[in-house]
Amino acid sequence: MTSVIWIMVAVLGTFTVGYMGYSRYLSRFVELDDERETPAHKYEDGQEYVPSKKPVLLGHHFSSIAGGAPIVGPITAGAIWGWVPAMLWIAIGNPLMGAVHDFISLSSSIRHEGRSIGYIVGQYVGERGKNLLLWFAFLTIILVVAVFALVVGIVFNAFPEVTTASTVYVALALVFGVYLYQLNGPFVPGTILFVAGVFAGVWVGIQYPFALFALAEGSHDAGTFVLFSGSTGSWVPGAAALGGNTAAWIPIVMVYAGIASALPVWVLLQPRDYLSSFLLYTGVGGGVLAIIVGTIFSTSSQPLVIDSSIGVFEGFWGIEAAGLFPLFPLLFITIACGTISGFHSLVSSGTTSKQLNKESDARLIGYGGMLGEGLLGALALSTLAVAGFAGDAAGGGIGGALPNFATGGGIILTSFGIPEAIGSVFMALVLVSFLLTSTDTAVRLGRYMMEEIVGMDDGMTVSGLSGGIGAAARGRYTNPVIQIGIAYVLVISGQWQTLWGLFGGANQLLAALALLTATVWLANWDESKQLVSTGVPMAVMVTITVLGLTWVALYNNLYVNLIQGGAGTLGAQLSSVAQMLLGLALIYIALSLVRIGVGNLRTVRGGDAPAAEPSDD
């Protein structure tokens, strides 16, 4: 039997080499300089531009980028194609592509006043290129909100204990924000007190689990408080596909994300992400250490070896249960954020760049933060390997991802003597913590995108409550309503499989466009700058993701769901049509932007235009 520790050995080996060597080279390559004033200091406003201590910002950044995708994706890919292909793509692709993407996105943003990647590309290829990228990013954000809210609803339904624990830590974050920024409380004692409160919330959740509706089949665990105990919530939109309790949580999570996105960053975003980062570090770091300890000292409840139900390599078409699921290109868009994620470029250039205290912090936060997400993906793959596959791989991932991450994680944590039942709930809470922080950050970033698309005309208000359609589209209070409204329509059909594929493809293609933006920036900055580090990953990701999105749009949605009748209800059919059109629109926007960007590169490197300074505004 193969020990699961070899997954960690492979990933930790390549990640260490990448951080110690390649990230240091990239830091010199983009000329990070602590003497240069960052946008957080230059434009400090107490609202969006707020200089942050490195550990606080790392906590926000890591919490925001590490959503459910690096958990669901590797588990789904490992179950379908085997653990070796999934492990190799994480171990090799992350330090050479994903971490480079995040670091360069952050570095380019701080050289452009903390602006988004859309603004940056617009500086060099024009207004049309800028708007194309911003629209692509905005549509991708809607998919992120839809997918993450769905997964939170599924986790809350399966683990009512996590619902209570999540409520506790959000409440603590609100108090912590007041403590730090209004009462100027001491940082270290406050951290100790409130972090202890977050972990105490896990115990509270186990003691007092909470659900909205009773289950249609079976029942919640004994002791679970059910708010509407006499109903299964069958009347809730989407209940037929998802179950009443799950379907009811989804709009609640979306409304929470909309409200949180409109608040100043110090009220909830910064303190919550910082506090939850300790939960996340403990989950990821503790899981990795538990694998090492359990393997060396045999202290786990069962041997930490790869279960016989998980193949080394299941073949190009994967397991039979998955149907027609070719490894190329679907492996890459299925694993998604565990290796490279376009959503990270929005976080890096949307919120993180506005809070960076000094430029040298970008190496740990940008490059190192992405390695942390890759480590999460490797841990998720390890939980699958230990627990064996539970669920239907063809059902779209979460059916297997949730029980495997929680159950497998619980088994791994027994290496420290933690009871498996407690460890499982804790790992489920880790998953939700990632998801909640990413969801409201995504809505905030979507507002930033629309602000740059629409601009600010006379008569517009920041709130969006007056000034016409443009003001409403970009408004702090109105824009989130637009985002969550569209996301809700996409998710209530219950078409998880196609929605996940569309999200993964769009997210990966956005990463390709962010790398294109970085390549254009570097080419215009200095003609001596090499373009291989960003150009090669960009070309690879464009190829993979355009083919992947074409498969999702035309095969999964058009052929399987619409022509063959795979979408059985009117809601599912409407969702399939929307997903197909959205996928084709994303492909068109991306290829148009690639053509414009490559044209700029040819012009600049052909000597037909002068190079621009990196800080040109």
Q: Has residue 423 got a pLDDT over 70? A: yes
The pLDDT score that the predictor gives to residue 16 is 97
- Looking at per-residue confidence, does 425 or 28 come out higher? 28
Residue range 257-266, pLDDT digits in tens: 999 888 888 8
Other Cβ atoms closer than 10 A to 553:
25
pLDDT mean over 236-247: 87
The pLDDT score that the predictor gives to residue 533 is 95
| Residues 365 and 106 sit within 8 Å (Cβ to Cβ) | yes
Other Cβ atoms closer than 10 A to 502:
29
% pLDDT > 70, the chain:
93
The pLDDT score that the predictor gives to residue 519 is 95
Residue range 100-137, pLDDT digits in tens: 999 999 999 999 999 888 888 888 888 888 888 888 88
The pLDDT score that the predictor gives to residue 530 is 92
Question: How confident is residue 396, by pLDDT bands cut at 50, 70 and 90?
Answer: very low
Measured CA to CA, the distance from residue 270 to residue 272 in angstroms comes to 6
- Residue 212 DSSP symbol: E
Phi, psi of 389 (to 5 degrees): -75, 125
Q: Is the dihedral of CA 467, 453, 149, 373 positive or negative?
A: negative
The pLDDT score that the predictor gives to residue 467 is 66
* β-bridge partners, 211: 226
% pLDDT > 90, the chain:
42
Q: 57: which 2 tokens?
A: 């910002």
| Residues 179 and 190 sit within 8 Å (Cβ to Cβ) | yes
| Residues 2 and 289 sit within 8 Å (Cβ to Cβ) | no
The pLDDT score that the predictor gives to residue 213 is 94
Q: 4: which 2 tokens?
A: 């699961």
- Looking at per-residue confidence, does 457 or 367 come out higher? 367
Phi, psi of 174 (to 5 degrees): -60, -40
Query: For residues 1-26, b (16+ Cβ closer than 10 Å) or e, as one string?
Result: eebbbebbebbbebbeebbeebbeeb
Measured CA to CA, the distance from residue 71 to residue 284 in angstroms comes to 11
Measured CA to CA, the distance from residue 617 to residue 613 in angstroms comes to 9
Helix axes 496-525 and 99-110, enclosed angle (nearest 10): 50
The pLDDT score that the predictor gives to residue 460 is 60
Nearest-CA neighbor of 166 among 252, 286, 45, 41?
Answer: 252
- Residue 326 DSSP symbol: -
- What is the overall mean pLDDT for the chain? 86
CA dist list (Å): 237 to 51, 220, 328, 576, 582: 43, 21, 36, 17, 22
Cβ-count burial of 511 within 10 angstroms (0-12 exposed, 13-18 middle, 19+ buried)?
Answer: buried
Q: 279: which 2 tokens?
A: 């939960």
**29-33, 61-65, 270-274, 427-431: range with highest mean pLDDT:** 29-33
The pLDDT score that the predictor gives to residue 264 is 84
Residue range 506-565, pLDDT digits in tens: 889 999 999 999 999 999 998 889 999 999 999 999 999 999 999 988 988 888 888 988
**3-17, 104-118, 200-214, 582-596: range with highest mean pLDDT:** 3-17
Nearest-CA neighbor of 233 among 155, 157, 151, 145?
Answer: 157
- Looking at per-residue confidence, does 37 or 275 come out higher? 37
Question: How confident is residue 37, by pLDDT bands cut at 50, 70 and 90?
Answer: very high
Question: How confident is residue 394, by pLDDT bands cut at 50, 70 and 90?
Answer: very low
**36-40, 199-203, 324-328, 612-616: range with highest mean pLDDT:** 36-40
Measured CA to CA, the distance from residue 502 to residue 483 in angstroms comes to 17
Domain ranges for the chain: 66-85+136-334+381-493, 496-616
Measured CA to CA, the distance from residue 104 to residue 17 in angstroms comes to 18
State the Cα angle at 572 between 569 and 578, rounded to 5°: 145
The pLDDT score that the predictor gives to residue 573 is 80
